[in-house]
Amino acid sequence: MLDMSPSLPRWRDLLPLLRPRPIELSPVRRALARSHSIADLRRESLKRVPRAVFDYVDGGADEEISLRRNRNAFTRVEFTPSVLRGGQLDTTTTILGKPAELPLVLAPTGFTRMMHHAGEPAVARAAADAGLPYTLSTMGTTAPDALAAEVPGADLWFQLYVWRDRGLSKDLVDLVRQAGYRVLMLTVDTPVLGNRRRDLVHGLALPPRLGLRAFLDGAMHPSWWWKLLTTEPLRFAALTGDGSVGPVELGNTLFDPTISWDDVDWLRSQWSGPVVLKGIQSLADARRAADAGVEAIALSNHGGRQLDQAPAPLELLPAVADAVGDRLEVYVDSGVRTGADLAAAVALGARASLVGRAYLYGLMTGGGPGVVKAIDILRGELTRTLRLLGVNRVADLTSEHARLRGSA
Ligand SMILES: Cc1cc2nc3c(=O)[nH]c(=O)nc-3n(C[C@H](O)[C@H](O)[C@H](O)COP(=O)(O)O)c2cc1C
């Protein structure tokens, strides 16, 4: 008979159960160690950069309806798991003819060295080490040729805005071709800049201005300011001149509201490699893109930063993939935050997803290691989702494995 009567605690039994973790002195490593999701990285990043910087990354346009809608679309995903289907797991795919370790492309983001002084080179290196493509923005803070030299062997894509001055766009295309970039991504949802109210409130500009509020906020983030003031000055490295303009001025002087499908034809004539149109937001435009002969489209509302009340790309995906998926690759961009989202996007017809904020939250929290952490989180979640779904290979994901609740 077992003796279940309570007794006094025996310390010698307790000791083996106590396994204190080694004390971590670096606040950055501590922040990364307690981040188990992209949402955790977002929360940590808020503590590490001035509010104006966080809001530039985190915010959307106008009422931020598109921003919320993008995430809500992913909450509609319902998976259909199969059981007892174990086997060798394979998360790889092919993106525009090149193998990638995950169905994932790191999206272009401007001002990247403002988020963390390590900037674009740290992001590109993390992507290359993980076997993923990285897209440098026209509004990047590292020059295209310098980045290519710093991260040899990376699968580099370049994101182009067509400027009012077409000569400037042509010069950029020539520069990135010579620097060895593989893919050109034309962003087509930005004839003018979206109305980012959080940036207007902060008076955001590049280089960051030291208004009284920013100065006081900076006092809370001395290491961010120290790095900013002791590393190479921030500038739009792909632009000529000193590159020091604010986003609102940029919108009014550089972006071209007359951009049209003729510009896609023009670009085709300038670039013999793959072309991606980023910012397609309707079935009709997806068909038009296929007719224009581009190799891929990214369904995107720019992460809710351009037209507010736009469709959520994930909700457009099934119909678009059905209509043009045999003529070009379709990517989903805007709102991807988890590895389950990556699986859902492929199941619903995407070749890959693009992420912007997911890696920027990592970058703001911990520089290069923060981006590595963000990718590790997504990889781990994707792997677990595949296992739980009973699907061994990303390539085997189909519409049998996921649907959007509430659709026919
Ligand atoms: C801070 C920031 C800067 C961005 N800069 C650019 C840019 O220069 N060019 C571009 O085409 N898209 C840009 N985007 C949009 C991203 O490429 C991508 O479409 C968006 O981040 C996807 O949504 P997600 O952040 O929810 O993943 C930017 C996004 C963010 C968050």
Beta-ladder partners of 134: 106, 156
- From 186, 302, 332, 334, the mutation candidate for ligand 1 (largest count of ligand atoms within 8 A of CB) is 302
| Residue-wise burial string across 41-66, b where 16 or more C-beta atoms lie within 10 A, e elsewhere | bbebbbebbbbbbbbbbbbbbbebbb
Ligand 1 mean position, distance from CA 16 (Å): 49
Residue 14 lies in a domain: no
Tokens of 385: 């989702």
* Ligand 1 atom closest to the CA of 302, numbered from 1: 19
Phi, psi of 337 (to 5 degrees): -130, -10
Pairing of strands 93-95, 98-100: antiparallel
Q: What's the half-sphere exposure (Cβ side, CA atoms, 13 Å) at 105?
A: 36
Two structure tokens written together for 374? 């963000």
pTM for this prediction? 0.95
Q: What is the DSSP string of 267-311?
A: HHHH--S-EEEEEE-SHHHHHHHHHHT-SEEEE--GGGTSSTTPP
Contact 42, 360 (CB under 8 A): no
DSSP sequence for 328-376? SEEEEESS--SHHHHHHHHHTT-SEEEESHHHHHHHHHHHHHHHHHHHH
Which ligand 1 atom sits nearest the alpha carbon of residue 336? 27
- Cβ contact 70:61 at 8 Å: no
- We report the CATH number of the domain holding residue 286 as 3.20.20.70
From ligand 1's centre to the CA of 304, what distance in Å? 9
Which residue is catalytic, options 116, 117, 202, 302?
302
191 assigned to some structural domain: yes
Total number of domains in the chain = 1
- Catalytic (active site) residue 302: yes
Measured from CB, residues less than 6 Å from any atom of ligand 1 are 56-57, 70, 107-110, 137, 139, 159, 187, 278, 300, 302-303, 305, 333-336, 354-358, 360
The answer to whether 272 and 230 have CB atoms below 8 angstroms apart is no
Q: What is the pLDDT along the chain (408 residues), one digit of tens a residue?
A: 677 777 777 777 777 777 777 788 999 999 999 999 999 999 999 999 999 999 999 999 999 999 999 999 999 999 999 999 999 999 999 999 999 999 999 999 998 999 999 999 999 999 999 999 999 999 999 999 999 999 999 999 999 998 888 888 899 999 999 999 999 999 999 998 899 999 888 877 655 665 667 667 777 888 888 888 888 887 777 775 555 555 555 666 678 889 999 999 999 999 999 999 999 999 999 999 999 999 999 999 999 999 999 999 999 999 999 999 999 999 999 999 999 999 999 999 999 999 999 999 999 999 999 999 999 999 999 999 999 999 999 999 999 999 999 976
- Residue 255 inside a domain? The answer is yes
Compute the distance between CA of residue 28 and CA of residue 46 in angstroms, rounded to an integer: 13
Using alpha carbons, select from 196, 197, 211 the residue that is nearest to residue 50.
211
Domain region containing 345: 38-80+88-404
Q: How far apart are CA 258 and CA 165, in angstroms?
A: 12
Query: Which atom of ligand 1 is the closest one to the Cα of 108?
Result: 17
Residue 172 lies in a domain: yes
Nearest Cα to 386, choosing from 329, 349, 347, 334? Answer: 347
Which residue, by CA, sits nearest to atom 28 of ligand 1?
109
Candidates 4, 16, 31, 22; CA nearest to 370 is 31
Q: How far is the CA of 192 from the centre of ligand 1 (A)?
A: 15
